[in-house]
Every structure is written in structure tokens, then in C-alpha cells.
Chain A
Amino acid sequence: MTAKALIKDFEAIVGKDNVLTSEADLASYSYDAAVLPNAMPGLVVRPTTSEQLGKTVKLCNDNAIPMTVRGSGTNLSGGTIPSTGGIVVLTTALNRILEINEEDLYAVVEPGVITSKFAAEVAKRGLFYPPDPGSQTVSTLGGNVAENAGGLRGLKYGVTKDYVMGMTFFDVNGELVKSGGKTVKCVTGYNFTGLMVGAEGTLGVYDTITLKLVPPPAAAKAMMAVFDTVMDACRTVAAIIAAKIVPATLELMDNFTIRTVENFRKAGLPTEAQALLLIEVDGHPAMVEEDAAKVEEICKKNKAASVRVAKDANERNAVWQARRDALPALAKVKPTTVLEDATVPRSKIPDMMAALDDIAKKYNLTIGTFGHAGDGNLHPTILTDKRNTEEWHRVEAAIDEIFDRALALGGTLSGEHGIGMAKAKYMKQECGIAAIEYSKRMKSVLDPKGILNPGKLIVG
């Protein structure tokens, strides 16, 4: 229970309607999209202006109460599971697009703007905001920045961090700090923006974010290549890159995923295929034609059983429908879906795919793998039922081993889903003790009372 006086203080800042205290309301902010135990917050507040947001942060700090900022709660690593009794600060009412500048190609947004709504607004002005996480219809830009979200277009267009030009954020005392700017070049002071991206709400609270926009590609072409072995598909990926072609999207689906998607949609996918590559090249129309032809040739040279190039918008849509169906189809197989995102250098994908096969066999688990082959970011998806304790133990052991193998291949724990609570314990293994100590020292100065999303990112 949160003290009455404190509730009154929050109410004075954000208004009575924006302080939630009922058990049902609190319980509905006790989880996010991660498969982790719930934790009940003591209070939920929903600031509606920047000023209210700043005062909220200050009040939490003054009272030394842990606070967790929450956008849409779709992160997969427990980044928004609050401390028990802590405060959840919602950004969903801070959802204004403040500026879209067509001359200087940037936009300024509040953190609660929904990603796809923003992308649509930008598209209306004939511009392009490329980061497209699978959750874009619901995720917030603040959440994207705090997790450094990626998406299907990462290979050519990069990820969220490549689009954050600057921001204003509240430090733990509720002071507004300005960092970066609206110019392509900006070297004034430390690069706080770089530090804040991917910080998962542990160092400060974004107030406004300045995002880079680019001109959209004039044309695009999609294709689907079918392979008898994963190895051939992986070799193709390497060959495409070696030919100095950078597709906008280069996605891989394994046999289990292909079969599951086909079972779900009945779109005529080749269920015998060991791997599918879904490829899209974009850019200037003439270049797109040329690249598409080259990619097709490379696929064939690398033993693709067949290559289907989409002839029109419908066919292109069918290619991407197959990819969009991957998670929904897998998720329907079993009650619990554990979506991982271990990432390895591109050239190590065949080894990682083989490792995942071993792990599935060793722990007797069902794992479907799809992902961004172009950038080495795979999504091994473990299908299980967390109520089956014995199996759940095997799942946990398998996750540990997935990380071990990814790290051994020179990879990373998380390509895009963040560390949160789920992976904090593996951090040492990847970054080493010095990095953890450095983080802790920094944190102890920037957040001396440790109220900013405690328990996430750095532990121990």
C-alpha cells in the first residue's frame, strides 16, 4: 500500500484521474511481454504533460521510491515489470508528434507516440522512418529508444539508435537535460543521447526525442528462395553481401517454422524445404531491377531449389505475409512462447543454426527459428507450457545454453529485445566484470538512490 499522503502528492501533479490505486489497475501493470513472474506496483501514474512527467520523477526521487517508466509494455525482457510497491509511470498520454520538419529531415516526438502511427504520419509527408519492430502497431517510440529496437529493415537501414539525433530527458532530480540536436553533425559535450539509447529507463526519463527521417526508396522488389539445406541458405546470405548488395530485408525461416506457417495459412509454402530466404531489395527502380536479378542468380548458384520473384503488390504481400505469420503461427502451437534473440556475426549463422538444433535435441524441446539472417539476429522460439515444471527447467537450461553458444561464436545475448530482468544475470559473461563495475559506478552517481528502474540491465 502506498501512503495516502503520497497519493495526494501525485494527484496534485497529474490529477486524480491519472493516479491509479485500485488492486485491479495495479495488477494490470504487474507484467509485460516477458515470460517472468509478476510484481505488483504500489501506484500507477499517468502524466499528461512534460512538466507533470518531470515533477513525477522528482517526487519519486525525493521519496526514494523505485519508478519504472512504461510505454506499451511489449518488451520481451521484463524491462517494465516494476519493483514490488514501486511506481509505474505511464507515457501513453504523452503521445504528441511535436514537429515533422520536411526541410531538415527530422521529427520531434513525445515518448508515448505509437511507432506505426508515427511512421504513417511521416509517410504522409513523403518521408520515411525505417525502424519497424514486429510490435510497431503497439510499441511506443520511447520504448523503442530505450530498448534500441530493431526490425526487418535493420540490415540496410540500421536500428533505432541510428535515427536518434537528440533528446531531452529528465534526470533523477527531475531536471531537464538537453542532448544532441536537430543537425546531422553535433559534437557538443558528451554524447548523452548515445548513452540514453538502450538504457531501459535506468538512467533518465525521455521527455522528447528528435528522430532522423530519410527519403523513402522509390521502388522495391521481394522474392522467396527455397533451400534443401540451411547451409545453402546461409551461404547465399554471405554471397549476397559479398556481391556488395545490401537488401533492405533478408529473412530466414527454418523447416519447423515453414511447416507451422503453412499449417496455419495454407499459402502453399514448400514444407519439405529446410530453409526459406525472404529477400527484398529497394532503392532506385533501375537499381532494384538489377539487384533483384543479381540476387536471384546468386540464390540459384548457391543451390536454391527455386526462387519466386514477386511480380506485383499482391505477390510481394504474400512473401511478407509468410514472414509476419511466423510468430503467430508458432505461438499457437503451445501455450507458452519464449521468443529469444541471440545474435551472432553473420558468417556464424550456420553454426548457430546447428547449435540450436543440438540444443533442441539435447533438451528435447520444440524450437522454431526464424529471423534476420542478414544481420545475424535469429529468433529461436521455444514452444512450451510453463505449467509443466519439469519441461520448464529444461527450457531454462536450454536458454542458458543458447546464450553460451551465441557468446562462444562471438555473438551477443540480445540483438534487439533488451536485457531487462531476463538477461541481466548473463551480462558479466558477455561484457566482463569491468563493464559491470563501470556501469554500477555511473549509475551510483546518476541515480544515487537507485530509483530508476532498479533490477534491470545491471545487477550483482
Chain B
Amino acid sequence: MADPKKLVEMLKTLEDQLVTCMRCGMCQAQCPVFAQSGREGDVTRGKIALLTGLAEEMIKDPDGVNNKLNRCLLCGTCEANCPSGVKVTDIFLRARAVMAAYTGMSAAQKLIFQKLLTNPGLFNTLLDIGSKFQGIFTKPVDDILGTSCARFNAPIIGDRHFKTLAAKPLHADVPSLDTPAGVSKLRVAFFPGCVVDKIYPSVGHAVLKVLKHHGVGVYMPKGQACCGIPAISNGDVASFQEMVKKNIELFRKGDFDYLITPCATCTSTIKKIWPTYYEDKSDQVALAKIVEKVKDVSAFLVDVLKVSPTDIPGTKTVTYHDPCHLRNSLGVTAQPRTLLQATPGVKFVEMTDAASCCGSGGSFNLKFYELSQEIGRKKAQHVIDSQAETVATSCPACMMQITDMLSKAGASRKVRHVVELYADAL
């Protein structure tokens, strides 16, 4: 559909939101992409002005605007600090959908979003093959996985120091679970998310160990689909619908008090993006139930199970990186720190700018690898300067990025999920 008139028409639907930006420019203090490039087109104000220009037919080149629009980590920092309350994430996701409809998606993107991520069985098989052959089987895997959620292509491309695909994904070890509530009298649904499942199964195992320890029953249905963020952030609204639908079908069958994820991005996607973008009206009741119950694992442990700091001083220094999707969109910052302080043996130290973005941003890292690296290097330096032996965080995508950046900096620091450290000490 390359009809410019249609594009303008679709962009006009965003007008009521675009106009709320008062162009004060205060987002220049927040945006990690702008901090790197210093270009107005990269900051929120610039992107909004460009979309407005396009909608008002002042700008003629949609591809140029699209390129700027994509230079965004969707980290939400600007939105959380915008004096005018501009709904930035919403504007950008909708604009990306409009752009995708206008420019069309690449064949690789279509394959990933429409075939793979909506079809967990096929996706898993492919990744299983990928994990066995990674290294030999470069090109096709690269193309297929290239634009997906959290850079599953990682180990394959030249100079990236990524964590490789796990030899055995979580779902191979634990295909499903349905255990009754224990001493806590609670039962939770467990949504590990793609990255934990395929790259950091140890995080998934840690969550299950912790839940068992606290006597929490687990409902973990087989065949969970992706949370949908890679699709919607690339403008593929239709695939997003399918992914969410699959998950709703699975989770509506379970009986649980909370839905737990160890992935900041999945948590915020389910909480904030699902209710706004999922369209099927007949599923609204089931959807509302899930949305209401979703919780980050550390928030669950601290707020619900009342895990609290120990008095025994630890010796293992650990610092914490705030994933944007927990901090900016959900305001979860205290609970992961409390969990670390509740972990025997851990001595928690704060790093400078713990809240600054690591530069991962899902497929941003793939499209703008250099920029992503520059942003990540700053984060790595803060970790190094903190002198901590270990950096903990709450999002597997951040873990990948920070691992990559630290290893490039030649720093031997461990990168762990807060729940892994807590589980280790049980």
C-alpha cells in the first residue's frame, strides 16, 4: 500500500496526540539516542514534529521520517518525564503501524512476525536447530532471526559477544507445570518470555525454584507465544493480535492469583500494551484478568510474599541496572533492590545512572548496532566504576546487552538476574 494520501489520512488519526507536545524540548535531557547523536530528529520532540509535518503534508519523504522513528529504544524515559504528559510510546507504536502499512514489511520481518513468533511450535523447533548448528549455519539463521525480539541471532554475527542460545531451552526441561498452592496459599501463572526460555533458561529455573521454596503453586501452560512486542514495535499489528490471542487462550484456562514474569519487557507489554492494542472484544474479560494479575517477579516476592532485607552483612558486591520497561512504564525500582538486600551474602552497591538505558531496545540493537553500542558502552562503564563483582537486573534483554558490552570492555563482571542470585542463596 504505497499511497501517500492514505498515509496522511492514517497519520491524521494521531493528531490529537501529536498536538499535546508543546515542543518545550525538555526530552533532550532524557533520550539516550539523542545523548549519543545530538540530533534533534532523534529526540522525542523531533520525531513528533516530523510525524506532524508528514500528517500536515509539509514533509514529503515518509522513508526519512520512518528512519528517525525507528531510531528509538521505546525505553519510555521521555514519556515518564514529559511535562506535558505526551503519550509517547502510544504515538510511536501507532505511527510504526501506519508506517509498516505504508512501506510494507520486509520478507524477513514477515516471516518472523507472521509465521514464527505466532507459531511457538515452529519457532521452538527452528531455534532448537539453530542452537545445535549455530556457528556453522550462519546466513539463513541470521536472516530469519535477525529482526526478532531480542536478537536471537546474537551468537552468529561477527563481533558480537553475545550469550549463545541455550543448549537446552526451558521448555525442553519443563514443558508445562500445574502444581497446587503450598504454604503461601497462592498460585501463580508463569510466563517466562522468549528470551528467558531460549537464552537464559537458568533464570526460568531460578523462578521456579524460588516459587517452590515459598510454597507457591505454578500454572505454566505449554506452547506460550511471544508477548508480541517485537511485532507491534515493528508495526505488525496483525501478528501482535495473534500472539496475544494465543496467550489469552492458554492463560484463561488456568486458575491463579498472579501472572509472574522475569522479563521487564514482557511485564510492561502485558500490563500496558495488551489492553491498549488488543482488539478482539470477545476476549476483553479474560484479558482484563491477565492484565490485572501480571507482576514482575521481584515485585511479587517483595510486595506479595513480603520478602525483606536481611540484617546479616554480605560480602559479594552486586549493583543493579534498572530496565527501562520496569522503571519507566511500571515504576518498579525499589523491589529488585530489596530482593538483592534480602539475598544472603549480597552486598548491594548503587551505580551512577542506574536508571539510564542499556541501549538494547529489542530490534533497535539490530537496526542501529553502532548507536546501541555507544549507549551500552556508557552503561558498561558505570557498572565497572561501581566496582561491583556482579551486575544484576530484571530483564533478560538487558542482560544480553550488558554482557555484550562488558565483555567488549574486557571487564570480567558477572551479569545475573536478581532472581537468580536470590535462588542461588536459598
Interface residues of A (CB under 8 A from B): 20, 22-25, 27-34, 38, 46, 72-74, 90, 92-93, 114, 135, 137-138, 327-328, 331-332, 335-337, 385-387
- Which residues in A have their C-beta under 8 angstroms from that of B53? 27, 30, 38
Cβ-defined contact, B41 with A28, below 8 A? yes
A27 in contact with B24 given A22-B64, A328-B83 (CB within 8 Å): no
Report whether over half of chain A's contact residues are helix, strand or loop; otherwise say mixed.
Answer: loop
Residues in A neighbouring B83, C-beta threshold 8 A: 327-328, 331
Distance between A35 CB and nearest chain B CB, rounded to angstroms: 8
Q: Are A90 and B38 in contact (CB-based, < 8 A)?
A: yes
Q: Are A24 and B59 closer than 8 Å at their CB atoms? A: yes
Contact B64 A328 (CB under 8 A): no
Contact of A38 among B25, B58, B65 (CB under 8 A): B58
B22 interface hit (Cβ, 8 Å) = yes
Q: Contact flags (1/0) for B110-148 with A, using CB distance below 8 Å?
A: 000000000000000000000000000000000000000
Shortest CB-to-CB span from A144 to chain B, Å, is 14
Given contacts A38-B53, A72-B28, A331-B83, is CB(A25)–CB(B23) below 8 Å? no
Q: Which residues of A contact B25 (CB under 8 A)?
A: 32-33, 72-74, 135, 138
- Which single member of B38, B60, B85 contacts A92 (CB below 8 Å)? B38
Known: A38-B53, A138-B29. 18 other contacts (CB 8 A): A20-B39, A23-B61, A24-B59, A24-B65, A24-B67, A24-B68, A25-B39, A27-B49, A28-B39, A33-B23, A34-B23, A93-B38, A135-B25, A137-B26, A328-B85, A331-B24, A331-B83, A337-B84
Inter-subunit contact A28/B50 (CB<8 Å): yes
- CB pair A335–B28 under 8 Å, yes or no, is no
Return chain A residues, CB-CB under 8 Å to B65: 24
* B284 interface contact, C-beta 8 A: no
Pull 14 A–B residue pairs with CB atoms less than 8 Å apart, ordered by A: A24-B59, A27-B53, A28-B46, A32-B23, A72-B25, A73-B40, A74-B25, A92-B38, A137-B26, A328-B85, A331-B22, A332-B85, A335-B19, A336-B19
Is B20's beta carbon under 8 Å from chain A? yes
Interface residues of B (CB under 8 A from A): 16, 19-20, 22-26, 28-29, 38-41, 46, 49-50, 53, 58-61, 64-65, 67-68, 83-85
The answer to whether A24 touches B84, judged by C-beta atoms less than 8 angstroms apart, is no
CB neighbours (8 Å) of B16 from chain A are 335
Most A-side CB within 10 Å, residue of B41, B50, B60: B41
Instruction: Evaluate whether A335 and B20 lie within 8 angstroms (CB atoms) in the complex, with A20-B39, A28-B40, A28-B46 already known.
Output: yes
In Å, the complex CA distance between A33 and B40 comes to: 13
Beyond A38-B58, A90-B38, is A31–B19 a contact (Cβ under 8 Å)? Answer: no
**Closest B residue to A112 using CB positions:** B38
B28 touches A337 (CB 8 A): no
Taking A31-B49, A38-B53, A38-B58 as contacts, is the C-beta distance between A24 and B41 under 8 angstroms?
Answer: yes
Check A387–B19 contact: CB distance below 8 A.
Answer: yes
Q: Are A27 and B29 within 8 A (Cβ)?
A: no
- The complex places the Cα of A30 from the Cα of B83 at a distance, in Å, of 22
In the assembled complex, the Cα of A92 lies from the Cα of B85 at a distance in Å of 26
Contact between chains at B84 and A331 (CB < 8 Å):
yes
Contacts A92-B38, A138-B28 given: A28-B23 contact, CB under 8 Å?
Answer: no
Closest to B42 in A: A28
Query: A323 CB to closest chain B CB, in angstroms?
Result: 13
C-alpha spacing A332/B25, complex, angstroms: 15
10 tightest Cβ-Cβ pairs between the two chains A and B: A328-B83, A24-B64, A28-B41, A28-B46, A137-B29, A28-B40, A74-B25, A335-B19, A331-B84, A138-B28
Interface centre among A28, A32, A33, A114 (most CB of B within 10 A): A28
A138–B26 touching, CB < 8 Å: yes
Bound CA–CA A19/B29 (angstroms): 23
Provide the bound-state CA to CA distance between A3 and B60, in Å. 20
Closest-by-CB residue of B relative to A335 is B19
Nearest B residue (CB) for A327: B83
Cα distance A137–B60 when bound, in Å? 33
Distance between Cα atoms of A386 and B18 in the complex (Å): 13
Nearest CB of chain A from residue B246's CB, rounded to whole Å: 37
Closest to A38 in B: B58
The CA of A23 and the CA of B38, in the complex, are separated in Å by 17
Residues of chain B within 8 A of A92, CB atoms compared: 38
Rounded to whole angstroms, the CA-CA distance of A9 and B423 in the bound complex is 62
With A24-B64, A24-B67, A93-B38 as contacts: A385 and B59 at CB distance below 8 Å = no
Assembled-state Cα–Cα distance A138/B29 (Å): 6
User: Which A residue's beta carbon lies closest to that of B66?
Assistant: A24
Q: Closest chain B residue to A139 by CB distance?
A: B25
Q: How far is the CA of A31 from the CA of B20 in the complex (A)?
A: 16
User: What distance in Å separates the Cβ of A23 from its nearest Cβ neighbour in chain B?
Assistant: 5
A24–B49 Cα distance when bound, in Å, is 10
Once the chains bind, are B50 and A135 in contact (CB under 8 Å)?
no
Chain B contacts for A332, CB-based, 8 A: 84-85
